[in-house]
Amino acid sequence: MVGPRPLTPDAGGDPACWANRVCPECGAFSADGYHRHGCPVAAGSEGMVASIEAVKADITELAVDAVVNAANSALAMGGGVDGAIHRAAGVRDLTAACAALGGCATGDAKATPGFALPARWIIHAVGPVWHGGDHGEAELLASCYRRSVEVADEIGARSVAFPAISTGVYGFPGDLAAEIAVGTLQDLETSVERVLLVAFDDHTLDRYQRLLRHPGPR
Ligand code: AR6
């Protein structure tokens, strides 16, 4: 990726302090926490995601660079995968880091450290609530996957694990959600090299595996 790239905050650091940092690579001052001065780390290599795999797992146990959370727009701890991620990361630390982000729009994503998780980062993506399909739900879900990968590029994450965003409490039909996840991820230009699509049950795993065996047109 050519363009601004965020300085990497220390995992466990105070998100409010991520700006106003000196670039560790070239020593330049960055008022907003982004490289804008052409230092070498600004130029990563981009292509398609090299590997997209489906796994059945508890996402909180995966040792990837970043796990994606199926969050709500307040970034307040909820149930499902969000609750599991909060408990495994440490409720106090993650709640404070999320509060400092000031919420997140549906279809968008924002990162915090992973705290006690094996993953270094958590990318909080806010999926749409399913209202029948005529309210832009498909586009908003695609946007979650796209924005999560853009955020992964910004923080330098090369391996990213996604839960089946919106398919639990938010009621998005699983088949359509899986098609959107796979189709969107297969089309992105990114420095992310490895994506794990994490299923929490056999049915979801089977869906992903079928789609990955028979990829749609690019
Ligand atoms: N690892 C992987 N996948 C999981 C895990 C886990 N530990 N736990 C659940 N899933 P949901 P949503 C799967 O409801 O529909 C929260 O309250 C689960 O089987 O977690 O986007 C938030 O705060 C399902 O397939 O997320 C929001 O308010 C998938 O994760 C709201 O729920 C997503 O289910 C978001 O709802």
Query: Is residue 218 one of the residues assigned to a domain?
Result: no
Domain range holding 165? 43-213
Domain with residue 182: its CATH number is: 3.40.220.10
Ligand 1 shell residues, CB under 6 Å? 58-60, 70-72, 78-82, 84, 127, 163-170, 198, 200, 204
Long-range pairs, 203-206, Cβ under 8 A, ≥24: 203/174, 204/56, 204/164, 204/167, 204/174, 204/178, 205/54, 205/55, 205/56
pLDDT tens digit string along 160-181? 999 999 999 999 999 999 999 9
| Tens digit of each residue's pLDDT (9 = 90 or more) over 14-57 | 343 344 444 555 555 444 444 434 443 333 457 899 899 999 99
Q: What is the DSSP letter of 125?
A: E
Tell me the pLDDT tens digit for each residue of 72-112: 999 999 999 999 999 999 999 999 999 999 999 999 999 99
82 in catalytic set? yes
pTM over 0.75: yes
Say yes or no: 83 and 49 in one domain. Answer: yes
Kindly state whether residues 167 and 91 are assigned to the same domain: yes
Cα of 126 vs centre of ligand 1, distance in Å, is: 11
Rounded to the nearest 10 degrees, what angle do helices 137-155 and 174-186 cross at? 40
What are the residues whose beta carbons fall under 8 Å from the beta carbon of 160, sequence distance 6 or more?
A: 64, 65, 66, 67, 68, 123, 148, 149, 152, 192, 194, 195, 196
Q: Are residues 37 and 47 in the same domain?
A: no
